[in-house]
Amino acid sequence: MINDLLDELNEKHINITFLDGKLKYNGPEDQISQELIGRLKANKLQLTMHFWPKEAPNIYPINPVGNLMPVLMLHGGSYFQLTDDLGNGRPLYSFAYIGSETEDSKIKYKSVESFAGEYIRQLNHVVASDSFIVGGFSMGGHLAFEMALQLRKNGKNIPLVFLVDSGLVAYDKHDYGSNILKKTVDLGVSLASKVIYFFPRKYYSLKYSLFKSTFKKMSINKRTAYIVKIYDRLIARYKPQEQYDGKILLFRASMNLSSSRYLGWDKVCKNITVVDYEGNHASMFHDNDVIQLIKTHIADAVFEISKENSI
């Protein structure tokens, strides 16, 4: 049906453009009937997908339709159906991580701050709003938080950031206190955590380097180690310079090895609600019960924030 509509627009010399976050149309007045305008509105989602600007290659409009406060979701591929939980009229945009576009695309950003700045640059091309709810999964959480800080600097209202098992490494330090036994146990857990994560990541990193030296292009699956390595470096260096005065909804895996209840985020925000879920870090993407729990809590938090901001 959308192809028939596009053919009709072409025949009638009606141009569709995407400007300031909205679809615009222009053409001969005698060709623009109320019936045609009605069909344009009815097919707004499909038309938005078709005319999505090339200046925003990493933003996917899961649901660009609606007048409520938009939700920005960073790297949450398992959560595309979150739009169903948010209700009608709630725009939802997902960000695909930079470096995933093509087989030979590279990540050129050297800090979380510059990375988030690029996402905001793309956002400004396609979404016109004064308020956003921002959230991120795993490594996407750091980018979501930094986007919240930068958007606030730009005069935007960011009342809520949701973070799914995302730890602020620079502040996520063990508090040993004076208990020698606790110090020993925590140190052992910390070392075990480093070993568990170091060797698999090192293996995949070496595997990527070998393939890269042999072939000019690689599939996205084989490039995962490259992307993870870059993200790990950015996250390790990320230390927010400002306090966030909104709310954080933090999801924490029961198997998270950190001794910090708030995974370090309490150093940069005083209003944090923690939701525990049973499982490990990967459960957020593969365990249906965990996925549903996270979606439900995000939807409830978004609803509450909307009520507060509508008063």
Give the tens place of pLDDT for each residue, 230-246: 788 888 899 998 999 99
State residue 186's pLDDT score: 52
pLDDT exceeds 60 at position 47: yes
Cα 170 → chain centroid: 21
* Nearest one of 144, 158, 135, 311 to 245, comparing CA atoms: 158
**Rounded to an integer, what distance in angstroms lies between the CA atom of residue 169 and that of residue 265?**
9
CATH class of this structure's domain 53-310:
alpha beta
Mean pLDDT confidence for 78-97: 87
Strand partners, 187: none
Give me the percent of the chain exceeding a pLDDT of 90. 42
Residue 63 has pLDDT above 70, yes or no: yes
The candidate with the shortest Cα–Cα distance to 131, out of 151, 117, 113, 115, is 151
Select, from the ranges 40-44, 201-205, 222-226, the one with the highest average predicted confidence (pLDDT). Answer: 40-44
Q: What is the pLDDT of residue 199?
A: 55
Average pLDDT value for the chain: 82
In the predicted model, is pLDDT for residue 204 greater than 50? no
- Separation of alpha carbons 256 and 47, rounded Å: 43
191 CB-contact burial (10 Å; exposed 0-12 / middle 13-18 / buried 19+): exposed
3-state secondary structure of 210: helix
What's residue 222's pLDDT?
Answer: 61
Q: What are the structural domain ranges in the chain?
A: 1-51, 53-310
pLDDT of residue 310: 65
Interatomic CA distance for residues 174 and 187, integer angstroms: 8
pLDDT at 2 (0 to 100): 81
Ranges 12-21, 30-39, 59-68, 113-122, most confident: 113-122
Model's pTM, two decimal places? 0.76
When mean pLDDT is compared across 36-50, 227-241, 266-280, the lowest value belongs to 36-50
Amino acid 308: pLDDT: 84
Rounded Cα gap, residues 254 and 194, in angstroms: 18
Q: How far is CA 278 from the centre of its chain?
A: 22
Distance of alpha carbon 164 from its chain centroid, rounded?
10
pLDDT digits over 143-167, tens only?
Answer: 999 999 999 999 999 999 999 999 9
